[in-house]
Structure formats: C-alpha cells, structure tokens
Amino acid sequence: MQLPSTTDILIVGAGPAGLALATELRRRKVEALLIDKQAEGANTSRAAVVHARTLEVLEPLGIVPQMLEDGVVIPIFRARDRDRALLEVDFRHLETQTRYAFTLMCPQNRTEAILLARLKALGGGVSRPLELTGFRADSERVDAQIKAPDGIHRLRAKWLVGCDGAHSFVRDNSGINFEGGAYEQGFVLADVRMDWPLSRGEVSLFFSPAGLVVVAPLPDDQFRIVATVDDPPEKPDIAYVQGIIDVRGPTKGERRIREVVWGSRFRIQHRVVATFRSGRVLLCGDAAHVHSPAGGQGMNTGIQDAIAVAEPLIRALTNGDAEGLDAWSERRREIAKSVVSLTDRMTRAATLKSWPAELLRNAAISLIGHLPGMPDRIARQLAELDNR
C-alpha cells in the first residue's frame, strides 16, 4: 500500500467530523491525510437532524444545495401529550437571523456521501482501511503507527486530529480526561414507512407516562422514530414499533407501521473532554463530546468543531502561531458543555417516571410555550445559532 512517510496533518476517522475537516482544508488548498480503519463508509442513517448553524458553516463548501435537495425541510418541532399540543417551536421565526430558518432531516449516510463527493471533487479522498494503532507526540511532531492490510507503516505528521468517534483511540492515548457519566435509559431507533395522521412538516415529541417517542419525517416517505425504553431490542420489528406508537403517540387517525427500513438501539453517555488540544493532538466530534440524541445536536456540534479548527490549524502550520488553537479548544469546550447540559435537561425531563412529576412536567412545558419569546429562544438554541 502506498502511504507517504510524512504529512502536515493526519486526520484519523472519516465520519462527518473528519470528512468536514479534510474537505474544508482542501478548499483552502491545504492537504491532509484522512484515514479510516473501516474498508467502507457506514451506510446507515444514524444522525438525521441538520441544524441551521451547521448549514451556515458548510456553505463555503458549496454542498448545501445538494443537502437541501436530498433532505426534508421541517419548520416546526411540537411537544405533545398524546393528542394535546403542549409547545410549538417554529424555526421560521428565525428568518431574520439565518437563511436556514428550519431544521433539515437528512440521513447521516447521505450527508457523509455529499461531503465525500465534494472532497473527491477537490482532489482529496479517504485512505482506507488504515488504522492508527499507536503514536508519540512531542512539541515538534507526531510519530504515528498505522496498520494497513500489508502490514505496519510509520508516518510523521506535524499535527494529529482525532475525529475517531466516541471510543477515540487518539483521546485515550493522549491522556485527555473524558469527564461525565452514563444514562440508565436505553433508546430504540427505527426508520419506518407508515400511515401517519400528523403533518410531515413537523417533528413531534410525545411525552407520555410510558416514556418519550419522537417522530420525525425523513426523505423517501419515511419517518424516524426514536423512543426511550428500559430494555431496547437489537432489531425492533413492526409489532414492537407499533406498540410504542399505540401507547405513546396520537390516539386519533390512521397510524399504522407498514415497514421497518432500518432499526437499532443504543445507550448513551454524557461526557466532554477536559481539553480539545494537547500539544500537537486535537480532537473533534464524538471523540471530544458525547451526549443524548435529544434535539439532534451530536453530529452538528462535531461538524462545527471541525470547520472551526481549520483556520487556526492552517495558521499554526504556516507561521507556528498555535494560540488560535487554544482559543478554539476553549470555545469548543464551552459549546460542548452547553450542548451536554441542554440535552441532559431534555433527557431527564423526558424520562421522568412518577405520575405527579410527569403532570408537572407537561404543565411546565405548556407554560413555557406561552411565555413571550420563549419558544423562539428554544428554536435559536436548538439551531445552534448561539455558537457563531
């Protein structure tokens, strides 16, 4: 396998964060080596929510029109107690603040394919399967050990960026603390085709005594269903998902699951790294922060970490000025902590298990919906516009 023996920037992990960084660097005429240990990219839908701030930071890459074409534009998030609407968050009210006054539902494999196509159009690509299996960093360089199908290669880089996901090898081998904890609650996720009585223009969040279920429209006439459950099955089938909708969703109108296109389950943690930078090692995306999927913030925050690091990284490379990287690390950590805190509040509210507490919660959500300006503040926070 042909591998260079040196590179300025080694990016480990070609998920959304690594792809976004490699593409942004290429756009700015800076080459990086992007490697991934998987022989092929993942082809499942996973993170499907793309928020306004992410579209803004991706704009210079010229891929937003394609994302808009492939996704579904959703103007409204509505919290419900079965048939009763409790709170409406209308992203259209952000139209004086952003060009993207909506949420886009676009499956992660589509977003990754669009980023990769742009990276290739700019002359780049992903080198795979190549696994980072060891590295040593000092103040001048990083010496990396990479496992390839034909054996072990050694490579010297000026900077190493770990975009290698929640179980990050780069993070764990840099001695950077990953502070936080785990939730007891499990989640089940299913992309389905179904008869559904509510508008395809809204994401519905049903707060019920049995737990939360979120129903969000996806492209190809599909819906994403995510629910909190104690013991999620590995592959939810039609009957399982139907049971959740019957007990937690609307009581009126046709709501029949016809097909489960893809299903999965996951357990989650809430953690943020102590720093995004340790010398010549940087972290972006899930490698630096993991949290509840509430509000669909995960992939968005990771892509924004990656786009934001490009400028200070190029400066560090060209004139040795690494101060911008420390400022980036501090700012991204602040943002990650506020995302963890927001998603934690939402998750704890959604998973209350006592009847009086649920009544109080639903009353509080309804009250928030009537406080002047409050739904628009929530829209702004979910859209991550405060991260500018």
Ligand X SMILES: Cc1cc2nc3c(=O)[nH]c(=O)nc-3n(C[C@H](O)[C@H](O)[C@H](O)COP(=O)(O)OP(=O)(O)OC[C@H]3O[C@@H](n4cnc5c(N)ncnc54)[C@H](O)[C@@H]3O)c2cc1C
Note the residues at the interface with ligand X (CB under 6 A): 12-18, 35-38, 46-49, 108, 131-132, 163-165, 169, 189, 264, 266, 285-286, 293, 296-299, 302
- Residue 131 or 358 having the CB closest to ligand X: 131
CB of 48 to ligand X, least distance (A): 6
Closest CB 201 distance from ligand X, rounded Å: 19
CB of 309 to ligand X, least distance (A): 13
CB of 42 to ligand X, least distance (A): 7
Pairing mode, if any, of strands 151-162 and 142-148?
A: antiparallel
Q: Which is nearer to ligand X, 46 or 78 (CB)?
A: 46
Shortest Å, Cβ 106 to ligand X: 11
Nearer to ligand X, 75 or 263 (CB): 263
Query: With respect to ligand X, which residue has the nearer C-beta, 35 or 86?
Result: 35
DSSP state of 184: E
CB neighbours of residue 122 within 10 Å: 18
Q: Which residue lies nearer to ligand X by CB, 71 or 285?
A: 285
Nearest distance from C-beta of residue 307 to ligand X, angstroms: 12
* Cβ-based nearer residue to ligand X, 75 or 285: 285
Helix, strand or coil, per DSSP, at residue 101: coil
For ligand X, the closer of residues 71 and 302 by Cβ is: 302
Q: How far apart are CA 171 and CA 181, in angstroms?
A: 17
Residue type, 100: Y
Distance between CA atoms of 22 and 356, rounded to whole angstroms? 50
Cis omega before residue 129 (within 30°)?
yes
Question: 203 or 362, CB closer to ligand X?
Answer: 203
Q: Which residues contact 84 (CB under 8 A, 6 or more apart)?
A: none
223 contacts 261 by C-beta, under 8 angstroms: no
- Residue closer to ligand X by CB (options 297, 362) is 297
Residue 296's alpha-carbon distances to 62, 243, 300, in angstroms, are: 23, 24, 8
CB of 196 vs ligand X, minimal distance in Å: 19
Structure tokens at 42: 């993942």
Least Å from the CB of residue 214 to ligand X: 9
Which residue's structure tokens are 């299996």?
A: 133
User: Least Å distance between CB 39 and ligand X?
Assistant: 10
Nearer to ligand X, 18 or 362 (CB): 18
> What's the min distance (Å) between Cβ of 126 and ligand X?
9
Beta bridge partners of 192: 223, 260
Tokens 């072990």, residue? 152
130 φ, ψ (degrees, to nearest 5): -135, 125
Among the listed residues 172, 136, 140, the one whose alpha carbon sits nearest the alpha carbon of residue 155 = 136
Distance CA 125, CA 42 (A): 16
Q: Provide, rounded to whole angstroms, the least separation between the CB of residue 293 and ligand X.
A: 4
Cα–Cα distance between 219 and 97 in angstroms, integer?
26
Closest to ligand X by CB, 16 or 236: 16
Token pair recorded at residue 183: 């939730």
d(CA 124, CA 32) in angstroms, rounded, equals 8
Helix axes 16-27, 108-121, angle to 10 degrees: 30
Long-range contacts of the stretch 357-360 (C-beta < 8 A, 24+):
358/207, 358/209
Which three-class secondary structure state does DSSP give residue 35?
Answer: strand
